[in-house]
Amino acid sequence: MDCEMLLTDRLAPAFGAVAGGPVDPVVRRSQHADFQSDAALALARRLGRPPREIAAAVRDRADLADLCSSVQVSGPGFLNLTLSDAALAEMVGGLAGDPRLGVPAVARPETVVVDYSAPNVAKEMHVGHLRSTVIGDAVARLLEWSGHRVVRANHLGDWGTPFGMLIEHLVDLGEAEAADDLSMGDLDAFYAAARAKFDADAGFRDRARLRVVALQGGDPDTRRLWRLLVDLSEHYFLTVYDLLDVTLTDRDFRGESSYNDLLPEVVADLDRLGLLRDSAGAACVFPPGSVGRDGEPLPLIVRKSDGGYGYPATDLAAIRQRTGELGATRLVYVVGLPQRRHFEMVFAAAGQAGWLTAPARAEHVGFGSILGADGRMLRSRAGGTVKLQALLDEAVARATELTRTRNPALGAAEAAEVGRAVGIGAIKYADLANDRHRDHVLDWERMLSLDGNTAPYLQYAYSRIRSIFRKAGVTVRPDAPVPLAEPAERALALELLGFAPVVAEVERGLEFHQLAGYLFRLATTFNAFYERCPVLRAEQPVRDGRLLLADLTARVLRQGLELLGIRTPERM
């Protein structure tokens, strides 16, 4: 149980007795004390008593003697809570012996599907894929660490009419030649060439159309060529994931095509349930609550008028399979905000069909666009989309250069490793540190300046701590007494207790900027401690105690950054 919950538990009965019913004590961190409870204010009207009087009554009843050195009524009716040094030391000491740093594993593990990244076969990943990949990976890491069974689903765009022209282009080039081109990772050029031929050459166009039919019909040779395209693309995606430090593997690809066989059943089920209606030749579900431009109910087109299936069909099939066969109870879709309505409709339709019923639920974890420094959608100098690989390479190059100048003592290999951790970390952190609902301005100068609230700031704090231990050749004594005499020590101890509540909060809302904000605060608090409180030169037992605080800080930073998918180099 974390500190805030403990205080809440102690205050709740007192509030209950004073109010004559259950009351949430509303405990939070305070500028005026360690914690504060705001509940008395809200209670004043209901009870017809002055809030300060209520707060005083609660203070007199609450069983806080073993936790707090001071409980004071303050201002209009706040209860200011100051932890006793003994209680604070004990709680921090408890963290030291806990590999999970105070964060409990979930009591009821669920099967959670996290749907994220989803690049398109034969297209390069661009910045548009960055947020889904980075945020989704953080979701998967966090829920897994919390104790859930996480299924990563990389909903690859591996199906559709463009594959006719892509396969024909592959045939034209020759398989060996095409494989060479594609293994270089220049998928966009391949796609553009196919597209150009398709636009210019009527004969090619016809072949492409026939090829689509052959692909859908399961023609073995066509399927083999298609598979080749998919394999080559997957190989490329995996190299990007590796560079990005993303946990997606080859086992997580769940291409759209893998749902093909289920689609007729999905349509048949919907029909049997009476949910399907024909509209202009298309088979549609009309989930309640969504209206279009004309004010009429908006259809979810499950089967197009030409008999083909749209992606709503695939999404419905996926939900059916995930809640059914996989037994998932939480479906997380990490997809851009523009698709919000689409998911509303799909979730509503799946609910009507009985494929998404309690306790199973789905949530769209949406995010805004990535903008350039000019505040507009990010474009390359040439005006095209910015390739993800190029972005990452530049971040790594800049960070490596910076590392070399900052710390010439590092060898070339280590500088390269640190540069990678810092460059990639900077990009991921810049994304995760902002409220994901907002558009995210990606400014090279700021992001890679590596100052302020950035990954390198946190990484640097970590490496400083590791440096202390390396220099002294010591290890922590987990039972060392926690020193609290210095304000900087006390502030750090208190901040360390904040990890569990913030993880719990992020697990609920998947708002990772809250975790980033916490880690930044922790690093800031540590840096202030580092300035004022010498560790190795301190007298015992303070020295061991400061080592303990430093080590705990390092562990929380490492664990927190790991949840965000960011590395922590031992040296910088």
Residue 223 within binding range of RNA, rule CB under 7 A: no
Reading the block at residue 223, the tokens are 């399927």
Q: Does 487 bind RNA (CB under 7 A)?
A: no
**Amino acid at residue number 264:** P
Mutual orientation of helices 499-509 and 512-532 as an angle, nearest 10°? 160
Among 248, 270, 399, 506, interactor with RNA by CB under 7 A: 399
Helix, strand or coil for residue 447? helix
- Of residues 131 through 160, those in contact with RNA by CB under 7 A are 157, 160
User: What number of residues does the chain have?
Assistant: 572
Using CB under 7 A as the binding rule, the residues of this chain from 193 to 222 that contact RNA are none
Piece in contact with RNA (CB under 7 A), picked from 4-12, 205-213, 398-406, 558-566? 398-406
Q: Alpha helix (H) ranges present in 376-486?
A: 388-406, 412-432, 444-449, 455-472
CA distances (Å), origin 95, targets 3, 68, 104, 481, 546: 11, 19, 11, 13, 14
Give, for 121, the enclosing helix (H) or strand (E): none
| Residue closer to RNA, measured from CB, 148 or 187 | 187
Q: What are phi and psi of 110, to 5 degrees?
A: -115, 165
Give all strands (DSSP E) within 299-420, no chain letters.
300-303, 330-334, 361-365, 370-371
Instruction: Pick from 9, 66, 435, 479 the residue near RNA by CB under 7 A.
Output: 435
CB of 99 or CB of 405, closer to RNA: 405
Q: Which of 193, 377, 416, 476 is close enough to bind RNA by CB under 7 A?
A: 377
Q: Which of 309, 325, 312, 270 is nearest to 113 (CA)?
A: 325
Within positions 332 to 371, which residues make up the interface with RNA, using CB under 7 A?
337-342, 368-369
Q: How far is the CB of 189 from RNA (least distance, A)?
A: 21
Question: How far apart are CB 503 and RNA at their closest, in Å?
Answer: 15
- We find the least distance from the C-beta atom of residue 174 to RNA, in angstroms, to be 28
CA atoms of 530 and 512, how far apart (whole Å): 27
The residue range among 105-113, 228-236, 331-339, 479-487 that interacts with RNA, by the rule CB under 7 A, is 331-339
- The residue (of 100 and 404) whose beta carbon lies closer to RNA is 404
Compare residues 282 and 319 and give the one whose CB is closer to RNA: 282
Cα gap 462→568, rounded to integer Å: 7
Nearer to RNA, 357 or 467 (CB): 467
- Work out whether 288 is an interface residue with RNA (CB under 7 A): no
Extended beta strands in 211-285, E state: 276-279, 282-285
Cβ contact 320:355 at 8 Å: yes
CB 183, min distance to RNA, A? 24
- Binding of RNA by 325 (CB under 7 A): no
Residue that is written with structure tokens 């492409």 in the block: 208
Task: List the one residue out of 99, 3, 102, 90 whose CA is nearest residue 480.
Answer: 90
Report CA-CA distances (Å) from 271 to 27, 265, 472: 52, 10, 72
Spatial separation of the C-alpha atoms in residues 516 and 425, rounded to whole Å: 12
In the complex, least distance from residue 94 CB atom to RNA, rounded to whole angstroms: 25
> What distance in Å separates the CA atoms of residue 208 and residue 189, rounded to the nearest whole number?
18
Among 6, 16, 30, 326, binds RNA (CB under 7 A): 30
* Nearer to RNA (CB atom), residue 148 or residue 417: 417
Task: Annotate each residue in 73-102 with x if it binds RNA (CB under 7 A) or - if it does not, as one string.
Answer: -xxx-x-x----------------------
Token reading at 414: 């280590």
Among 268, 291, 390, 485, binds RNA (CB under 7 A): 291
Burial 152-173, CB ≥16 within 10 A → b, else e: bbbbbbbbbebbbbbbbbbeeb
Q: With CB under 7 A as the contact rule, which of the stretches 24-32, 226-234, 345-353, 380-388 interacts with RNA?
A: 24-32
69 binds RNA (CB under 7 A): no
| Residue 91 vs 450, nearer CB to RNA | 450
Q: Among all chains, which residue has been given the structure tokens 């749907």?
A: 115
Per CB under 7 A, contacts with RNA among 247-286 are: 256, 279-282, 284
Residues in region 447-486 near RNA by CB under 7 A:
449-453, 456-457, 460, 463-464, 466-468, 471
Min dist. Cβ of residue 214 to RNA (A): 17
How far apart, in Å, are the Cα atoms of 285 and each of 50, 272, 288, 342, 352? 56, 12, 9, 12, 10
Window 504 to 543, contacts with RNA (CB under 7 A):
511, 513-514, 517, 520, 524, 527-528, 530-531, 533-537
Residue 416, interface with RNA (CB under 7 A)? no
Residue closer to RNA by CB (options 89, 522) is 522
Q: Which is nearer to RNA, 148 or 415 (CB)?
A: 415
Site for RNA in 296-315 (CB under 7 A): 296, 298-299, 301, 304-306, 308, 310-311, 314
Q: Measured between alpha carbons, how far is residue 317 from residues 36, 265, 287, 295, 363 in Å?
A: 49, 9, 16, 28, 16
* Cis amide leading into 359 (omega within 30): yes
From the list 292, 327, 354, 478, which residue makes contact with RNA (rule: CB under 7 A)? 292
Of the two residues 265 and 443, which places its CB atom closer to RNA in the complex?
443
Q: With contacts defined by CB under 7 A, how many residues of the chain interact with RNA?
A: 98
Please identify which residue in the block is written with the tokens 């997957």: 234
CB of 180 to RNA, least distance (A): 27
Nearer to RNA, 111 or 290 (CB): 290
* Cβ atoms of residues 304 and 313 within 8 Å: no
